[in-house]
Amino acid sequence: MLLAHSLLVPAFAHRVRDTFTVLKTETGQVAQIIVITELLQSASRGDHAELVPTLHSLAADLS
């Protein structure tokens, strides 16, 4: 969740990735997909719409 919300600040997102190396594992990638799904669903109701493009980009990077 922290990574997803930090995507609009690339330097901080990079720091999150470096700090939490579990994000690079298969389990971490699955967790990221779950968070992306939850946030996109929330965005469809008007929450955090500014994250949508970066969430799509992250999802593409994970696939």
Q: Which long-range contacts (CB under 8 A, 24 or more apart) does 41-49 make?
A: 48/5
Task: State residue 63's pLDDT score.
Answer: 86
CA separation for the pair 45, 41 (Å, rounded): 7
What are the tens digits of pLDDT across the range 5-42? 999 999 999 999 999 999 999 999 999 999 999 999 99
* pTM, full prediction: 0.89
C-beta separation of 36 from 58 below 8 A? yes
Counted domains in the chain: 1
Q: What is the mean pLDDT of residues 46-63?
A: 95
Q: Which residues contact 50 (CB under 8 A, 6 or more apart)?
A: 8
| Residue-number span of the structural domain to which 53 is assigned | 2-62
